[in-house]
Amino acid sequence: MQNCKTCIIRSKAANTLNPNELTILMESCAETTFNPKESIIKEGTLSSHVAYLKSGLAMVSKKGVKGIDQILKIIKPGNYIGLQTVLFEKINQFSVTALEKCVVCFIDNQSFKELISRNTQFANELLIFLCREELTYFDRFVNIHQKQINGRMADIILFFSEEIYNHATSFNIPLSRSDMAAFICTTRESITRAINDLSKTNSIRVSRKKFEILNPEMLKKISEKG
């Protein structure tokens, strides 16, 4: 495990900590590696740690009343996982699964709460993070319920291109067609049809999990029109 004091991918919140507080963080932190499809956090289990994703991609999901997993969001490196639980609940309210090889730091809940109490800048950065997360979720909720399937599929592609892969035009989406369906509240068959429809517009080219954006303007127009 790296020393928290010299780690180059610390969060903005951790950057506000003084040397003594960084020592508290380091002594209460453990680094773990997860392979694709391994569970990082399991819904319904006791929450004992906050997680921080150092590398890799992970997805957050929650079971509905029919026992079907709904994917809530995709997590990229540099984000905390489980803040809502450590600050409010004792039981994990969602599951987190590795989409690719992930390195995760687990920080003891009590030590994390101590840092929040000791350092107001640390607490402020966490509050900003939570507010940003909630506003992003508001946008996703509206788009899922008001856009047609082709618009929602365009949103997935643009999300991975712009948010995950730094505006790349060719990339792999580490989600199965069923996962994509669970991400935008539709069926696997609808995902397949939407991909075919978008391909016919010559805005994308798809080969299994590899997506190539051929006409970004067209794809953004489909996303905006919904």
For 98-136, the pLDDT digits (tens) are 999 999 999 999 999 999 999 999 999 999 999 998 899
- Write the secondary structure of 124-155 as one string of H (helix), E (strand) and C (coil): HHHHHHHHHHHHHHHHHHHHHHHCCHHHHHHH
* Confidence class for position 2, pLDDT limits 50, 70, 90: low
95 neighbors 69 (Cβ within 8 angstroms): yes
Number of domains in the chain: 2
Q: What residues pair up with 168 in beta bridges, in sequence order?
A: none
Q: With respect to residue 78, please indicate whether it lies within any of the assigned structural domains.
A: yes
Q: At what angle do helices 149-159 and 188-200 cross, to 10 degrees?
A: 80
Q: What percent of the chain has pLDDT over 90?
A: 79
The answer on 182 and 155 residing in a single domain is: yes
Query: From the CB of residue 91, how many other CB atoms can be counted at a distance below 10 Å?
Result: 10
**pTM given for the model:** 0.88
Specify whether 122 is located in the same domain as 156. Answer: no
Rounded Cα–Cα distance for residues 124 and 11 (Å): 13
- Residue 1 has a pLDDT of 52
Q: How sure is the predictor about 59, in pLDDT bands with cuts at 50, 70 and 90? A: very high
Query: Does residue 73 share a domain with residue 154?
Result: no
Summarize pLDDT for 150-198 with one digit per residue, the tens.
999 999 999 999 999 999 999 999 999 999 999 999 999 999 999 999 9
Tell me what pLDDT residue 75 has.
Answer: 94
Query: Of the residues 100, 135, 170, which one is the last residue of a structural domain?
Result: 135
- The percent of the chain in helix, strand and coil, each rounded to the nearest 5, is 45, 25, 30
Coil/strand/helix, residue 219: helix
Residue 21's domain comprises 14-135
CATH code for the domain of 60: 2.60.120.10
Looking at the fold, whether 25 and 124 belong to one and the same domain comes out as yes
Higher pLDDT, 6 or 177: 177
* Angle, CA 75 vertex, CA 115 and CA 117 arms, to 5°: 10
